Amino acid sequence: MMKTLIIIGIIILTSFIGCSNSVSPEDENIIYFNSFETVADFENWNGLNENNWKSEVPPNCGYRSVLISGGCVMPHTKYVFQKTLLPGNYTIECLGKATKNSSGGGVTLKCDNSSVSISIIDSVWAYKTSETIFLPQTMSLEIEVNSGGFIPGGMLIDKLIVRKMN
């Protein structure tokens, strides 16, 4: 009986721990959310497909993350928003970790000549969020992801979010 209660307690406790900094993709301030769980999640990404899937994920955050690694030609992958966004402040955030024996990489949110970035250099899963970038007029944003180049690099990312700040 005691063993059963302990198991039930552990199950209840782990259901509350979940994916750190969890958000709902239905949040009205989230303009882009991707956890890279299905082939459809690669739509509009250049240089990213199901060959990048890895089964190493943050606790309770789905079944897949994506591996970003590349050579000297950058960006290694890029996403261009197909919709025009309203003026305002935006941030980019994700969970990420550097792969073993690598320098990690970065995730950048760009508009024209402005950009904000987050560095993925931790050897364990860590939540990262950028400073804000101001979109001065109705235009599009891009996400660029790089890892490697002259210095060997590799990183895993999951739960990528672009958020419009109020």
| Mean pLDDT (10-residue bins), the chain, 166 residues | 39 37 67 95 91 93 91 76 86 96 92 92 96 86 86 89 92
- CA–CA separation, 154 and 14 (whole Å): 30
Instruction: Please tell me the CATH code under which domain 22-165 is placed.
Output: 2.60.120.260
- CA–CA separation, 104 and 37 (whole Å): 22
For the whole model, what pTM was predicted? Answer: 0.81
pLDDT of amino acid 164: 94
pLDDT of amino acid 69: 86
For the chain, give every domain's residue range: 22-165
